[in-house]
Structure 1
Amino acid sequence: MTHRALKLTLPRTPAASSILFGLACAVLAGCASHAPIAEPPPKVDLPAGWTVAGNSNHEEWPDKNWWQRFGSPALTHLVAEGQSSNLELAGALARVRQAEAEARIAGVSLLPTANFYSGANRAVPIGSGSASTSAANSLQVSYEVDFWGKNKAGVASAEASLEANRFDRQTVALTVTSGIVSTYLQVLSLHDRLAVAREHVANAEHVLKLVEAQKSAGAASPLDLARQRSALAQQKSEIPDLMQQEREAQSALAILLGKTPQTFSIGKEGLDTITLPEVSPGLPSELLSRRPDIRRAEANLAAADANVAVARANLFPSINLTGALGAQSSALLSLLNAPNLLVNVSASLMAPIFDGGRLKRERDLAVARKQELVQVYRATVISAFSEVDTALGQIRSLDEQRRLKTTELEQAREAYDLSEIRYKVGAEDLMTVLDTQRALSNVQNDMGILKLKRLQATVSLYKALGGGWKEDQSRGNSLPGKT
Structure 2
Amino acid sequence: MPPSFYKVSDSSEISKINWRDYFNDPILSGLIDTALVNNHDLNIAIQKIEIARAGVTNAKASLIPQVNAGTNGGIRRFGRYTMDGAGNIATEMTPGRIVPINLPDIFLGFQASWEIDLWKKLKSKQKSAINQFLASAEGAKGVTASLVSDIATSYYELLALDHELEIIQQTIQRQKDALETIKLKKETGRTNELAVQQFQAQLLNTQAIEKELLQQIVEFENRINFLLGRFPQKVERVKEILLADVPSQIKTGLPSQLLENRPDIREAELLLEASKFDLKSAKAAFLPSMNLVAGLGFQAFKPEFLFLAPASITYQALGGLMTPLINRNALKANFSYAKANQLSAMHHYQKSILTGYTEVMNQLSALENLKNLHVLKKEQNSVLNTSVDMSTELFSTGRASYLEVLLAQQNSLQAKFELINVNKRQHIAAVNLYKALGGGW
User: Into which bin does the TM-score normalised by the smaller protein fall?
Assistant: 0.7 to 0.9
Contact 1:142–1:322 (Cα < 8 Å) also in 2: yes
- The structure 1 residue matched to 2:239, chosen from 258, 270, 279, is 270
Match of 1:435 in 2: 407
Percent identity of paired positions between Structure 1 and Structure 2 = 25
Aligned length: 416
Query: 1:391–1:461: 8 Å Cα contact kept in structure 2?
Result: yes
Q: TM-score, normalised by structure 2?
A: 0.88
Could you say which residue in structure 2 is the equivalent of 1:168?
Answer: 139
Once the two structures are superposed, residues 258-291 of structure 1 have per-residue CA deviations (whole angstroms, 9 ceiling, x without a partner) of 1222xx1124631446644433211111111100
Matched, 1:462 2:408: no
Q: Which amino acid aligns with 2:198?
A: R
Matches within 5 A, 1:287-326: 287-326=258-297
Query: Equivalences for 1:61-72 in 2 at 5 Å?
Result: 61-63=14-16, 65-72=18-25
Contact 1:328/1:340 (CA < 8 Å) preserved in 2?
yes
**Is 1:177 equivalent to 2:130 in the alignment?**
no
Q: Quickly say closer, same or farther: Cα 1:149–1:428, change in 2 above 3 A.
A: same
Q: 1:412 aligns with which of 384, 393, 398?
A: 384
Structure 1 unaligned spans of 5+: 1-45, 470-483
Instruction: Say yes or no: does 1:92 pair with 2:45.
Output: yes
Q: Are 1:139 and 2:113 counterparts?
A: no
Counterpart in 2 of 1:472? none
In structure 1, the residue matched to 2:193 is 222
Aligned to 1:481: none
Q: 1:321 to 1:272 in 2, by over 3 A?
A: closer
Distance 1:115 1:70, change over 3 A: closer
2:322 counterpart of 1:369: no
Equivalent AA in structure 2 for residue 368 of structure 1: A
The alpha-carbon deviation at position 333 of structure 1 amounts to: 6.1
Amino acid at match of 2:259: L
Classify the secondary structure of the residue corresponding to 2:15.
coil
Higher mean C-alpha deviation, range 138-147 or range 326-335: 326-335
- Which of 327, 341, 346 is the aligned partner of 2:313? 341
| 1:234 paired residue among 195, 205, 208 | 205
CA RMSD of aligned residues (A): 2.5
Answer whether contact 2:384 2:408 (CA < 8 A) is retained.
Answer: yes
Q: SS of 1:315's equivalent? A: coil
Decide whether the 8 Å contact of 1:320 with 1:349 is kept in 2: yes
Partners in 1 of 2:423 and 2:394 — Cα distance? Answer: 32
Q: 5 Å matches for 1:106-255?
A: 106-119=59-72, 135-255=106-226
Q: Which residue does the alignment assign to 1:327?
A: 298
What is residue 105 of structure 1 aligned with on the other side? 58
Residue 9 of structure 1: aligned partner: none
Q: TM-score, normalised by structure 1?
A: 0.81
Match of 2:91 in 1: none
| Rounded Cα–Cα distance in structure 1 between residues aligned with 2:75 and 2:222 | 73
User: 2:369 is matched with which residue?
Assistant: 397
The verdict on how the C-alpha distance between 1:334 and 1:455 changes in structure 2, with shifts beyond 3 A counting, is closer
Q: Which moved more, 1:452-461 or 1:356-365?
A: 356-365
Determine helix, strand or coil for the equivalent of 1:348.
Answer: strand
Separation in 2 of the partners of 1:447 and 1:260? 33
Shift, 1:468, TM fit = 1.2
- Cα 1:454–1:400 change in 2 (3 A) is same
Q: Which runs of 5+ in 2 are unaligned?
A: 77-95
Flag the 1:337–1:369 CA change in 2: closer, same or farther, 3 A: same
